[in-house]
Structure 1
Amino acid sequence: MKRNYWFAAVITVVISLSTGCVEVTESPLLSSLLTSTTTASALDESTVASGLKEALRVGSERAVSLTSAEDGFLGNSLIRIAMPESLQKVSTTLRSVGMDSYVDEFEVAMNRAAESASGEAKGVFWEAITSMTLTDAMGVLQGDDTAATDYFREKTSTQLSEKFKPIVQDKMAEVGVYGYYTTLVNAYNALPFTSKPQFDLEQYIVDEAQDGVFTMLATEEVKIRRDPAKRTTELLKTVFAAQD
């Protein structure tokens, strides 16, 4: 409620500054909002838009840095890639007969492939930020705690998938995902009364890698909006200060 109130006030300030129709001194709220920033013109439209783009850059850089590091997926319970649902029967059956290592090695390899691919998200995100319009920026500002992440999902999902796929394929070969998967399935098929599962392994890892990056981006966005300590530049402090 407080955030929505502030958003409405920001828009009022923007209109006031651009039209000259309202005296700041007539509104204690407008006066306090303006004096809480570096200068009286700090919340004009261009500053707000620049601040939002800065927040997107900072948040996306943090998210990509976290996910692309070793154990960025594997060591993070929020985004760790687990055995896909279509292979759960395979996993359960193999573990029940003491073949845990087949399952564990396959899961580790999937996560390593995602960690490698996620580094490519940074360039895609930055292209989306560069092309962001003032209308886009104001829409993100007035949205909820993950409005920027939702904007990125809409604008970059297709491109991210295209970027991720060849990297996932290369990394799957490098870390042995295909080999682990073949071993896993062959071990399962060797058991009586089982049948080979039908599954698009590459697309599963691509989708999970993409979802993981967006999950961490949402986490970073919430921090920037709510935690002043996470606003690491003067521009971020200026634009977001009034919502505290």
Structure 2
Amino acid sequence: MKISIAIAVFISTSYLASAQTLGKIVSKGKELTTTSSSGKSSLTNDEVVSGLREALTTGAKTAASSASVVDGFYKNQNIFIPWPAQAASMKDRLVKLGMQKQVTEFEESMNRAAEEAAKSAFDIFAGAVKGMSVTDGFAILNGGDTAATHYLREKTTPALTEKFTPIIKTAMEKVRVTEYWNPLVTAYNKIPGVTKQNPDLEAYVTAKAINGLMLLISEQEAKIRKDPAAQVTALLQKVFGKG
């Protein structure tokens, strides 16, 4: 069994907590390449992919859970959904007109909508992980620090967009995004000489919500690839345990 397979399963623990060094990964990989002569069972491709699935499932669940709580988006500056960039001049003018409070309330409402939508993300991620092939697994392991995130983005963005759009629409109604937005855009569009503004808020919040989830996953992946996790499942204990 190649060292890369052993390393692959070890890195697959990337979404579980607690650390070991990359040097230990390589060391453990060398141990596992000699298991057949020492009487231990060698790892199979199925075990490699199963290990990846366990880790990615846990990581996706963690990201979705983190983003879907109150302030999951709103108070996380890495994924906070700001005022639409294409309407930046509108924001500046409104703030100068003394409407900072309304601007802030509008931004909060968009983030609340994203938090609501994130509650439905895990099932889609889980489906993508379940469909992972051996080829997919090793492409992830041989890829860069965010190869798993790239896999999930590629496999889930269309489904997430389709599922998120009506949820975002409902969530925006629930948290009254348009109630905060309409007075702002109306006030701005009455200013002489300005370019009229009315961005597609549903599409904007949907895209930002998906990007935020992917960022949470990529941050974990990049970090844990350098600082791998403890073996907290039976499969991972089998691969990396002392016995």
Paired residue for 2:31? 32
Deviations 1:33-73 (A, max 9, x none): 4479xx83353211111111111101101000101111010
Where do 5+ consecutive residues of structure 2 fail to align? 9-26
- Partner amino acid, structure 2, of 1:130: K
- Partner amino acid, structure 2, of 1:137: G
Name the CA shift for 1:87/1:163 in 2 (closer, same or farther; >3 Å).
same
2:3 to 6, 9, 18: 9
Paired residue for 1:87? 87
How much does 1:13 deviate?
A: 9.8
How much does 1:237 deviate?
A: 5.6
Q: Distance in 2 between matches of 1:70 and 1:225?
A: 29
Matches within 5 A, 1:94-173: 94-173=94-173
- Partner amino acid, structure 1, of 2:196: K
1:214 and 2:208 equivalent? no
Name the CA shift for 1:57/1:240 in 2 (closer, same or farther; >3 Å).
farther
Deviations 1:87-128 (A, max 9, x none): 111110011121101110110000000000011110001111
Matches within 5 A, 1:170-209: 170-209=170-209
The alignment partner of 1:152 has SS state of helix
Paired residue for 2:44? 44
Conserved? CA contact 2:185–2:198, under 8 Å:
no
Q: Indicate the larger mover: 73-82 or 183-192.
A: 183-192
The alignment partner of 1:66 has SS state of helix
The alignment partner of 2:43 has SS state of coil
Q: Distance in 1 between matches of 2:69 and 2:56?
A: 20
Conserved? CA contact 2:81–2:208, under 8 Å:
yes
Where do 5+ consecutive residues of structure 1 fail to align? 1-6, 15-27
Superposition CA RMSD, Å: 2.7
Q: How many residues are treated as equivalent by the alignment? A: 220
**TM-score, structure 1 normalization:** 0.81
How much does 1:32 deviate?
A: 2.3
Q: Indicate the larger mover: 227-236 or 131-140.
A: 227-236
Q: Indicate the larger mover: 224-233 or 180-189.
A: 224-233
Name the CA shift for 1:111/1:32 in 2 (closer, same or farther; >3 Å).
same
Name the CA shift for 1:192/1:29 in 2 (closer, same or farther; >3 Å).
closer
- Partner amino acid, structure 1, of 2:218: A
Name the CA shift for 1:227/1:117 in 2 (closer, same or farther; >3 Å).
same
Conserved? CA contact 2:2–2:33, under 8 Å:
no
1:73 and 2:67 equivalent? no
Matches within 5 A, 1:225-244: 225-229=225-229, 232-236=232-236
Q: Distance in 2 between matches of 1:10 and 1:81?
A: 39
- Partner amino acid, structure 2, of 1:32: E
Conserved? CA contact 2:68–2:118, under 8 Å:
yes
**TM-score, structure 2 normalization:** 0.81
Paired residue for 2:55? 55
Q: Distance in 2 between matches of 1:60 and 1:95?
A: 38
How much does 1:80 deviate?
A: 0.1
Q: Distance in 1 between matches of 2:100 and 2:230?
A: 41
Name the CA shift for 1:218/1:119 in 2 (closer, same or farther; >3 Å).
same
Q: Indicate the larger mover: 122-131 or 185-194.
A: 185-194
Q: Distance in 1 between matches of 2:102 and 2:29?
A: 63
